[in-house]
Chain A
């Protein structure tokens, strides 16, 4: 049985390789916000209040492009609605926690943290303080995101644009799903999601990000039925 501290540290270690892509992306996000003409405090406030990578850029781009606040807020909600799926998966492991702890831990659930903690949870179901792993991944992500966006805001885009570091984001997610390419059913689900996301890319409010997972999960349900 691992202690709380060991689980927290393990969470930190499991997510830290992703910082290779998260930190440059955070710097770019901070710099873009200021370049678009927003007050530095507002750009930083987003990292604290929204704490959601790409949705922060989309929000500022929409506002600076003349969209109404309502459209910008709705887009952030839709882009981040994928967290509902993460929560549904994680709820199994967090069931025993008190309501207050569930409310607190929810704030730090992010894509990479969910992915790494979910992998760890599946292999270590019997651990008593499993949620400390999620706190470890979430807090690491939070601290790095705050520092990265803040440096982008203060120092500007000191990461040269020619390097195309935004490309590190798809790469980080490739690293997360690549081992599931061994399973044919997962490959079918991934291709369904990927092709749908390209097909629906122009759907309003960036809704491709939730439409394509829903389509892919329907395909997953069909595959499960066929397997029986």
Chain B
């Protein structure tokens, strides 16, 4: 029962991946649409970033002094200047841990 649902979810997910790559030819998209598609990373990833920072596990907004906001800011600054993915993630995590384990403890 659950396995059937998983298989349907898998087929559906596969179609989201495959449709635009295999079934749509690039010529079907006009120049205007191609220009807009340049913005896809900037238009999609904040929908993962913002809720990941500002909304907690219970689906409610966090306080404005939440350590995650500080961690995210540190990650943005370190990422902007270092251009390094590992440095960005580590800086965010370490500053977050510093606040929850050292400062607020």
Contact = CB atoms under 8 A, between A and B. Distances in A.
Contact of B18 (A69, A103, A168, A185): A103
A76 B3 CA distance: 14
Given A73-B9, A84-B20, A170 B48 contact: yes
Interface in A72-113: 72-73, 76-77, 80-92, 94-95, 99, 102-103, 105-107, 109, 111
Given A167-B71, A175-B75, A91 B24 contact: yes
Interface of B: 1-10, 12-14, 16-22, 24-26, 29, 32, 34-55, 59, 61, 68, 71-72, 75-76, 79-80, 83-86, 88-90, 92-93, 96-97, 100
12 contacts: A51-B10, A52-B13, A59-B9, A69-B2, A83-B16, A87-B24, A88-B29, A162-B100, A170-B49, A170-B53, A174-B72, A193-B42
A164 B20 CA distance: 36
A138 B96 CA distance: 30
Contact of A177 (B22, B46, B97): B46
> Size class of A's contact patch?
35 or more
A20 B86 CA distance: 7
Interface string A163-182: 11111111111111111110
A18 B85 contact: yes
A86 B40 contact: yes
B13 A77 contact: yes
A106 B22 contact: yes
B2 to A, nearest CB: 6
Given A73-B8, A177-B42, A192-B43, 19 more contacts: A21-B89, A49-B9, A50-B13, A51-B10, A51-B13, A52-B13, A84-B16, A87-B20, A87-B24, A91-B25, A103-B22, A167-B92, A174-B76, A176-B45, A177-B45, A186-B42, A194-B46, A209-B47, A217-B40
